[in-house]
């Protein structure tokens, strides 16, 4: 199970539209359908894909994360 990401800033008009659309997709949410197409697409949180993990020493690593939609 993925961790919850940071919530992106969503304009008020878009937020109201998404709330209305959720009722049409009930019991699933629009994000459930978007995840079927691409797991990085979501309207509720920011997501990214871990591209590379590079060791930088005995106790440190660098992580390269490719941001998802609307970063």
pTM of the model: 0.47
Residue at 5 is within a domain: no
Residue at 59 is within a domain: yes
Residue at 6 is within a domain: no
Question: Which distant-in-sequence residues (6+ apart) come within 8 Å of 27 by Cβ?
Answer: none
Mean pLDDT by 10 residues, the chain (71 residues): 67 83 74 77 79 93 85 64
Domain that holds residue 59: 12-67
Task: Identify the pLDDT of residue 63.
Answer: 95
Residue at 2 is within a domain: no
Task: Identify the pLDDT of residue 71.
Answer: 64
Residue at 32 is within a domain: yes
Euclidean distance between CA atoms 71 and 64, whole angstroms: 15
Task: Identify the pLDDT of residue 14.
Answer: 83
In the chain, how many domains are there?
Answer: 1
């Amino acid at each position: 199970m993925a961790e919850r990401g940071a919530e992106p800033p969503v304009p008020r008009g878009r937020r109201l539209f998404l709330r209305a659309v959720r009722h049409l997709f009930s019991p699933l949410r629009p994000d459930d359908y978007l995840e079927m197409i691409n797991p990085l697409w979501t309207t509720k949180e920011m997501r990214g894909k871990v591209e590379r993990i590079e060791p930088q020493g005995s106790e440190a690593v660098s992580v390269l994360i490719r941001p998802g939609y609307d970063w």
